[in-house]
């Protein structure tokens, strides 16, 4: 399943592909910043930026 979002340069931790989709998710807490999620364009692995 593909996420919506924009393409960016990011290295997949699974297959080392260099392009991924990213989208930002706002967690419902005043103390939390938006979290960025990536999805590899090659293998579709999803990961989170810390």
What tokens appear for 21 in the block? Answer: 């989709």
Neighbours of 46 (CB within 10 A): 15
Q: Which residues bind Zn ion (CB under 5 A)?
A: 12, 14-15, 17, 40, 42-43, 45
In the complex, least distance from residue 43 CB atom to Zn ion, rounded to whole angstroms:
3
In the complex, least distance from residue 30 CB atom to Zn ion, rounded to whole angstroms:
34
What is the distance between the alpha carbons of residues 32 and 20, in angstroms, rounded to a whole number?
24
In the complex, least distance from residue 13 CB atom to Zn ion, rounded to whole angstroms:
8
Residue with smaller CB distance to Zn ion, 16 or 24: 16
Torsions phi, psi for 33 (to 5 deg): -80, 165
């Amino acid at each position: 399943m593909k996420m919506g979002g924009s393409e960016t340069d990011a290295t997949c931790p699974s297959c080392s592909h260099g392009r991924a989709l990213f989208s930002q998710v706002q967690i419902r807490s005043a103390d939390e910043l938006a979290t960025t999620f990536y999805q590899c364009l090659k293998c579709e692995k999803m990961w989170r930026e810390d």
